[in-house]
C-alpha cells in the first residue's frame, strides 16, 4: 500500500481489508483492556473502531494481544533450521524474534550470519538479528572464525540488525580491549543498542560495563543481581530456556515501576521444551500464575522489547503497526488459539495452517575438520588431586572442587561411585588435534558416554563418559554424521541425532528432531544420568565466559580468573 492509501484507509475513505469485531483489545500502552474493533489494510493496523471493510471477522469477545516477541534467542539451540524453528514457535504466538546467530558465526563466521539472514526471508514471522560480538568468545578456545569490528561493519547498516549482540567478554570491556571497544563504538555509530552478558558482575565493574554503553543483561540468576543492574540503568531480559531457568527467581523484581525495563527471552530452548511448554507464551502464563498482573506480563512480551530494539512497527495494537496478533479466551491463562501475521491467519489451535508457504532453507557447507591424529582420552597421573567441574542443575553456571584422583595403570580414570566422570573437548575447526581433558561431577552416568558438536560457544566436540572407549566411539559417530549428538555403550552407538548444518541444526521438522532427541535422553537415563537434559548441560560446560570452571579444547578454564588452569591441583 502507498502512504496515500494507508491514510485513506485510516480515515475510512477506503475499505479496509479486514475488520476484526467484538475484540477485547490488550492496550499495552495504557495497560488496559479496550472493547472495540480492529481495522487492517495491507497487513497493517489502520484504525480502532467502526470501519468499512471487505471482510468482517467476529472475534466473539475474545482477547487480542500484539504478537509476542522473544528478546534474545539462539535459533540454533532449537536444533532446527530457521524454517522449521518458525513453524514450531508461531502457533505459540511468537511473531517476532531477535536472534543472535552467535553459534553458527563461531563455526562459519560471516558465512554463518549470511546463511541465517538469507534463511530468514519470506518466513511468516519477523526475524531480526543482533550482530554477534564475541567470535570467538575468548582466546581460551579454538573457534571456526574470528570476527572483528571491520568484519561486522558491513552488516550493521542492515535494517534487520537491531543491536550488537551479547557482549560476553566483560573483562575485555572493563580492561578496555581496543577491539572490543571498537565493536561497541560501531553499534553506537549506527544508533543501535549493545546487549550485555555479565553474570555476577557487580559494583564498579558493573558500572564500568554499563558506562561503556551496554544496556541489557539476560544472565541474572538472583533477584538481588537483577535489582542492582536495574537500579544502575540496565534493561533486564528474564530467561527461561532449557538449561537455565531464571523466571521463578526473578519474579520479585517485577512491579509496576520496574516492569517497563524488563523483557522475556528463551535464549536456548531445546525441541522438547518448545513442543511441550511453548515459547514466550509459556513465560507469560508462568508469570501470571506466579501473581504478576496479566497486562504487565504481556507488556513484557510485546511493547517492552519493541521499544528497546527500536522495532516501531510491532509490539502494539495501534495504527501503523503490523497486524501481528494473537487471540485467546482466558486472560489469566492465555493459551493461544489463533495467530495472525500481517493480518493473515497463519496458525490455529496450536498448528500452522497447511496453506502457509514453507520457504526452503539456504544451502550450507560441511564443518567437520578434526585432523588425522588419533583421538586419545587417556590422562597420565601427575598428582593425587584433581580440579573437578561441579554441575548446578538447571543452571549454566558451575562450581568447582578439588578431589582425590582415581588411578588405574598410571592413568587417571572416571569414578562412577563418586559420580566423577571424564570430560573432553575435541577441536573440530582447524584439524589441530587439540583435546582438552578434565573431570565433571553431576551427570550420574553409570555406563557409556554422551557426545555433541553443540558446545557453546565455539562448538567443538564435547564428550563425557565413564570410559575412554565409549567416549571415542561417541565422538567418531558425531564426526561421521557431519555433526550432531551421539550416545554409546560397550563401544556401540545406541542413539544419534544428525545435525549437519554447521554441526548445530537439522533441516528436519522440530517434531522429528525431538523424537531423535527423546531417544537420546532415554538412552542417557538408561546410562544412569540424573539430569533432565544432559545434552543441554553438556553443551554449556564448554562456555568459558560463565563461571566458575569450564573446559575447552585448550584445557580447564577458571572463568573468575579468566585463564587456563591445570587439571591437577598439586
Q: Which of 61-75, 234-248, 385-399 has the highest mean pLDDT?
A: 61-75
pLDDT at 114: 95
Q: What is the mean pLDDT of residues 445-457?
A: 96
pLDDT band, residue 168 (cuts 50/70/90): confident
Residues 302 and 399 in one domain: no
Q: What is the mean pLDDT of residues 358-385?
A: 89
Q: What is the mean pLDDT of residues 188-202?
A: 95
Over residues 309-347, the pLDDT tens digits come to 999 999 999 999 999 999 999 999 999 999 999 999 999
Residues 143 and 287 in one domain: yes
Residue 32 lies in a domain: no
Domain that holds residue 476: 385-565
Residues 410 and 535 in one domain: yes
Quickly tell me which residue has 533432565 as its cell.
532
- CB-CB contact of 217 with 236 (8 Å): yes
Which secondary-structure segment (H or E) carries 153?
A: helix 149-156
Q: Report DSSP state, residue 500.
A: T
Compute and round to an integer the Cα radius of gyration of the chain. Answer: 24
The sheet carrying 563-565 orders its strands as 549-552, 555-558, 563-565
Where a domain ends, among 296, 311, 326?
A: 311
Q: Give percent helix, percent strand, percent coil of the chain, each to the nearest 5.
A: 30, 30, 40
Where a domain ends, among 262, 278, 311?
A: 311
Q: What is the mean pLDDT of residues 170-178?
A: 92
Q: What is the mean pLDDT of residues 446-468?
A: 96
Q: What is the mean pLDDT of residues 454-483?
A: 96
Residues 392 and 514 in one domain: yes
Q: Report DSSP state, residue 209.
A: H
Q: How far apart are CA 6 and CA 41, in angstroms?
A: 7
DSSP code per residue over 323-338? --EEEES-TTS----E
Residue 493 lies in a domain: yes
The helix/strand/coil state of 439 is: strand
Q: How far apart are CA 86 and CA 122, in angstroms?
A: 11
pLDDT band, residue 363 (cuts 50/70/90): confident
pLDDT at 362: 82
Segment among 88-97, 237-246, 472-481 with least mean pLDDT = 237-246
What value, to the nearest 5°, has the Cα angle with vertex 322 and ends 120 and 263? 75
Residue 555 lies in a domain: yes
Number of domains present in the structure of the chain: 2
Q: What is the mean pLDDT of residues 433-458?
A: 96
Over residues 137-164, the pLDDT tens digits come to 888 999 999 999 999 999 999 999 999 9
Sign of the alpha-carbon torsion through 382, 383, 384, 385: negative
Within 13 A of 311's CA, how many CA atoms are on the CB side? Answer: 30
- CB-CB contact of 427 with 462 (8 Å): no
Residues 163 and 264 in one domain: yes
pLDDT at 171: 86
Which secondary-structure segment (H or E) carries 564?
A: strand 563-565
Over residues 210-256, the pLDDT tens digits come to 999 999 999 999 999 999 999 999 999 999 998 788 999 999 999 99
**Averaged confidence pLDDT in the chain:** 95
Where a domain ends, among 311, 337, 368?
A: 311
Residues 116 and 237 in one domain: yes
pLDDT at 397: 87
Residue 352 lies in a domain: no
Residue 50 lies in a domain: no
pLDDT at 34: 97
Q: What is the 3-state secondary structure (H, E, C) of 37-69?
A: EEEEECCEEEEECCCCEEEEEEEEEEEEEECEE
Residue 362 lies in a domain: no
Residues 290 and 409 in one domain: no
Q: Which percentage of the chain shows pLDDT scores above 90?
A: 90
Which secondary-structure segment (H or E) carries 443?
A: none
Residues 538 and 391 in one domain: yes
Residues 299 and 394 in one domain: no
Interacting residues of 332 by C-beta distance below 8 A, sequence separation 6+? 288, 294
pLDDT at 562: 86
Sign of the alpha-carbon torsion through 195, 555, 441, 471: positive
Contacts by residues 11-17 (CB-CB < 8 Å, ≥ 24 positions apart) = 12/47, 12/51, 12/52, 14/41, 15/52, 15/53, 15/54, 16/40, 16/41, 16/46, 16/47, 16/51, 16/52, 16/53, 16/54, 17/41, 17/42, 17/53, 17/54, 17/55, 17/343
Residue among 153, 147, 144, 120 nearest 133 (CA): 147
Q: How far apart are CA 59 and CA 369, in angstroms?
A: 55
pLDDT band, residue 367 (cuts 50/70/90): confident
Residue 46 lies in a domain: no
Q: Which percentage of the chain shows pLDDT scores above 70?
A: 100
Compute CA distances 473 → 132, 463, 553, whole Å. Answer: 33, 10, 18
Q: Judge whether residue 396 has pLDDT over 90.
A: no
pLDDT band, residue 570 (cuts 50/70/90): confident
Residue 257 lies in a domain: yes
What value, to the nearest 5°, has the Cα angle with vertex 309 and ends 270 and 184? 95
Q: Please give the backbone phi and psi of residue 513, each rounded to the nearest 5 degrees, phi first.
A: -65, -40
CATH classification at residue 136: 3.20.20.140
Q: What is the mean pLDDT of residues 5-25?
A: 96
Contacts by residues 145-152 (CB-CB < 8 Å, ≥ 24 positions apart) = 145/105, 145/106, 145/107, 145/108, 145/109, 145/110, 145/112, 146/109, 147/105, 147/109, 147/110, 148/179, 148/182, 148/183, 149/179, 149/182, 149/183, 149/185, 149/186, 151/109, 151/110, 152/183, 152/186
Over residues 430-442, the pLDDT tens digits come to 999 999 999 999 9
pLDDT band, residue 257 (cuts 50/70/90): very high
Residues 306 and 391 in one domain: no
Residues 439 and 558 in one domain: yes
Q: How far apart are CA 325 and CA 339, in angstroms?
A: 6
Q: Judge whether residue 106 has pLDDT over 90.
A: yes
pLDDT at 364: 79
Residues 519 and 420 in one domain: yes
Q: Which cell goes with 130? A: 543482533
Amino acid at each position: 500500500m502507498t502512504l496515500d492509501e494507508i491514510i485513506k484507509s485510516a480515515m475510512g475513505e477506503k475499505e479496509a481489508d479486514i475488520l476484526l469485531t467484538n475484540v477485547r483489545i490488550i492496550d499495552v500502552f495504557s495497560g488496559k483492556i479496550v472493547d472495540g474493533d480492529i481495522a487492517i489494510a495491507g497487513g497493517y493496523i489502520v484504525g480502532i473502531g467502526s470501519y468499512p471493510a471487505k471482510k468482517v471477522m467476529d472475534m466473539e469477545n475474545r482477547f487480542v494481544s500484539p504478537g509476542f516477541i522473544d528478546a534474545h534467542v539462539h535459533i540454533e539451540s532449537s536444533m532446527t533450521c530457521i524454517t522449521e524453528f518458525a513453524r514450531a514457535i508461531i502457533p505459540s504466538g511468537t511473531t517476532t524474534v531477535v536472534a543472535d546467530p552467535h553459534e553458527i558465526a563461531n563455526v562459519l563466521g560471516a558465512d554463518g550470519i549470511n546463511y541465517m539472514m538469507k534463511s530468514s526471508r519470506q518466513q511468516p514471522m519477523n526475524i531480526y538479528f543482533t550482530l554477534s560480538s564475541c567470535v570467538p568468545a575468548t582466546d581460551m578456545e579454538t573457534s571456526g572464525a574470528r570476527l572483528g569490528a571491520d568484519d561486522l561493519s558491513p552488516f550493521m547498516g542492515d535494517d534487520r540488525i537491531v543491536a550488537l549482540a551479547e557482549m560476553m567478554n566483560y573483562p575485555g570491556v572493563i580492561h578496555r580491549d581496543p577491539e572490543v571497544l571498537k565493536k561497541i563504538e560501531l553499534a553506537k555509530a549506527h544508533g543501535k543498542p549493545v546487549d550485555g552478558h555479565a553474570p555476577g558482575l557487580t559494583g564498579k565493574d558493573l558500572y564500568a560495563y554499563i558506562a561503556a554503553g551496554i544496556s541489557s543483561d539476560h544472565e541474572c540468576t538472583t533477584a538481588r543481581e537483577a535489582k542492582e543492574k536495574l537500579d544502575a540503568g540496565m534493561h533486564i531480559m528474564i530467561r527461561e530456556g532449557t538449561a537455565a531457568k531464571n523466571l521463578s527467581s526473578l519474579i520479585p523484581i517485577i512491579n509496576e515501576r520496574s516492569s517497563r525495563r524488563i523483557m522475556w527471552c528463551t535464549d536456548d530452548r531445546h525441541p522438547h521444551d518448545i513442543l511441550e511448554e511453548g515459547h514466550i507464551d509459556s513465560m507469560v502464563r508462568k508469570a501470571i500464575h506466579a501473581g504478576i498482573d496479566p497486562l504487565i506480563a504481556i507488556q513484557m512480551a510485546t511493547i517492552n522489547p519493541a521499544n528497546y530494539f527500536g522495532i516501531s512497527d510491532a509490539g502494539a495494537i495501534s495504527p501503523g503497526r503490523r497486524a501481528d496478533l494473537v487471540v485467546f479466551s482466558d486472560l489469566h491463562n492465555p493459551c493461544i488459539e489463533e495467530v495472525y501475521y500481517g493480518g493473515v491467519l497463519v496458525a490455529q489451535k496450536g498448528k500452522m495452517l497447511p496453506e502457509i508457504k514453507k520457504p526452503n532453507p539456504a544451502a550450507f557447507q560441511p564443518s567437520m575438520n578434526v585432523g588425522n591424529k588419533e583421538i586419545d582420552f587417556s590422562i597420565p597421573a601427575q598428582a593425587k588431586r584433581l580440579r573437578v567441574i561441579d554441575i548446578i542443575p538447571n543452571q549454566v553456571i558451575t562450581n568447582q572442587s578439588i578431589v582425590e584422583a582415581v588411578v588405574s595403570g598410571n592413568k587417571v580414570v572416571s569414578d562412577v561411585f563418586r559420580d566423577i566422570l571424564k570430560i573432553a573437548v575435541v577441536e573440530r575447526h582447524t584439524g589441530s588435534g587439540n583435546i582438552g581433558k578434565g573431570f565433571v561431577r553431576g551427570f550420574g552416568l553409570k555406563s557409556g558416554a554422551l557426545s555433541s558438536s553443540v558446545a557453546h560457544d565455539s562448538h567443538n566436540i564435547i564428550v563425557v563418559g565413564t570410559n575412554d572407549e565409549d567416549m571415542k566411539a561417541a565422538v567418531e559417530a558425531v564426526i561421521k554424521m557431519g555433526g550432531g549428538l551421539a550416545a554409546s555403550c560397550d563401544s556401540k552407538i545406541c542413539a544419534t541425532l544428525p545435525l549437519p548444518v554447521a554441526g548445530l541444526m537439522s533441516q528436519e521438522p522440530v517434531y522429528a528432531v525431538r523424537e531423535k532427541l527423546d531417544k537420546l535422553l532415554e538412552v542417557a537415563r538408561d546410562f544412569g544420568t540424573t539430569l533432565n537434559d544432559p545434552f543441554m548441560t553438556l553443551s554449556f560446560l564448554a562456555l568459558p565466559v560463565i563461571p566458575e570452571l569450564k573446559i575447552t579444547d585448550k584445557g580447564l578454564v577458571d572463568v573468575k580468573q579468566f585463564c587456563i588452569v591445570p587439571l591437577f591441583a598439586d
